Structure 1
Amino acid sequence: MGLSPLALAVITWYKDNRPLAGSTSVAFLNRGQIIEIESAQIADAGIYKCVAINSAGATELYYSLQVHVPPSISGSSNVVAVVVNNLVRLECEARGIPAPSLTWLKDGSPVSGFANGIQVLSGGRILALTSAQISDTGRYTCVAVNAAGEKQRDIDLRVYVPPNIMGEEQNVSALIGQAVELLCQSDAIPAPTLTWLKDGRPLLKKPGLRISENGSVLKIEDAQVQDTGRYTCEATNVAGKTEKNYNVNIWVPPNIYGSNELAQLTVIEGNLISLLCESSGIPPPHLIWQKKGSLVLADSTERVRTLSGGRQLQISMAEKSDAGLYTCVASNIAGTAQKDYTLQVYSK
């Protein structure tokens, strides 16, 4: 029996019109009737041509070989942060053959292309949020799919909120010895670090001064005059910084020097006499003079008048009727104090 015409044919293979004979990646089987590529690579894609020639003529057969590559997604940042109300873009650089189709999920649910301020751009390569809100926080997943497979990449989006301390600048007043409590509450994401200052400098620890663990409460147990000042609470996080000021005033009740003693004064009729009332207090006390419980008013001749903001009651020409019990009353927001004086007027 003779050989078949095919067996007598000379078979030659070409790739992209170049002979395959010298290729190391291709194995020829069954006298060249079959070529086998054991581990196909992208470079193996192309147009393959089989040419068979014998004494009767020649024929050829074409194959188009496509080498598919599963998707891959580049990028190493798995956490993206944005300040609330700002623009943020999540990127998904995916490769593969054929080019993969891209879709996005948020917390496992599909993301629609143009809803709730979300835009899917460049065929899915970019997910843009025009004005990020707290509700946009979550896990976004880019899914790349082609005929060769599927690849996913997760991105955690964190929407940060700058600190905002509740309330305006505050004036705080307390009596000496009382407790003072300053509250500093901030709604921020992430929770801010709270720092206290006094008159622009870091607050030094001292007995009776306590700051809560999270910094939101400053308490002075036994307020003293030296605790007066401008306190500042600073709230800081990665999104920003803000502050609130507290003007703390410690009031001190009035005190009149020598108030525990009755001052006994004498004057000769027709002479000048001055009654002195030295006082202290915070705020500085207001001084008035009384005689037998009634307010002492300056007369039209200014024979009787008050000087130095009430610290002195002056009687320029003493009369018998000037004799009696005088009282200096010092008062401020924190309280009152008084001192009594007896005045005797002697005849010349």
Structure 2
Amino acid sequence: MQSEEMKVVAGRGATIRCEVFGNPPPKVEWLKNGQQFQSELLQSSTNLAYLHLREASVEDAGRYTCIAANRAGEQRASTQLHVIDGDRARLECKVEGHPAPTVRWLRGGRPIEDMSNFILSPRGETLMILKARRADAGSYSCVAKNAAGETEAGFTVSVFTAPHIEESVDQNPHIVQGKTLTFYCPVLGNPDPKVEWRRDNLPLEEDPRFSILEGKHLQIEHAQKEDEGRYTCHAYNEAGVLDTDYESEVIDVDVPYSRINPLTYSAPPKFHRTGESVYEVVEHEAVTLDCAVVTEPKPEVIWYRGEQPLYLAGNMALSPDAMVSKKCKVGAGSSVSRNRFC
């Protein structure tokens, strides 16, 4: 079975797996908190039984036990499932005293100045964080005081955040054949995301030329033409999943191409075709921003959203001719092209 503890944010999917082997094939029974558990969510296949929660709720939390039994004996394995309410955090500070104490809340040892995301109960004993954000993580304390004295209780708030990337990354790396090809995936999140690298949606095949550094760098030494293709950084934690795609290019050193030999003919970039300057689209519908550039050598095209380089999120795709397709409403964007030599 999986690890003894599993955490999932409310509303996210979760799967508890239980591998079973035996002769004759064992029958599988599930318990939840020690009680027999039957559900249409229970499924099985050869040597595998599993419980799949499409949208976990707080009520799904508990200890799940998989029992595999045949006439030769019985085996059990358990997983404790924690379901975390991804929106709200409730801090309670039960106080007693005579006269009735006053209660105040501190964050990081200082009074909470911005209460727009918080609600206090009438007596101040409960502090509710309405929609937990990364900025709300940290230490909190409840201070109760009356004429007889003062007491304090501390809390630590951890906010789970899905994997995300906050800096610009090169999603179209290219390198001269024989050099080292590098993919960079600076993914962040809480808890720290786990990263798996894939090629064409399949796990990477073992190759002594491939190395993964700290999970965030994939390096291919002595890159060859057959190393070209789509690579994916698959990052996940209890709060969500992020897939970042990369399209690599390995330049054949035997081809007299201007990106390899800067002495060949070159010209500054020129826009051959551009789309509209303002797009009005229906939310969740696809929109394509057209920016065709002609020049020699082939230029590098960089897209911007506002003043920042555009990070291609999961709902965006960049075509070989530099058009961007996005399936939702987008803000102002622009593109800049420049010749690039290798």
TM bin (shorter chain):
0.3 to 0.5
Rg larger in structure:
1
TM-score normalized by the length of structure 2: 0.42
Q: TM-score, normalised by structure 1?
A: 0.42
Point out the structure with the larger strand share. 1
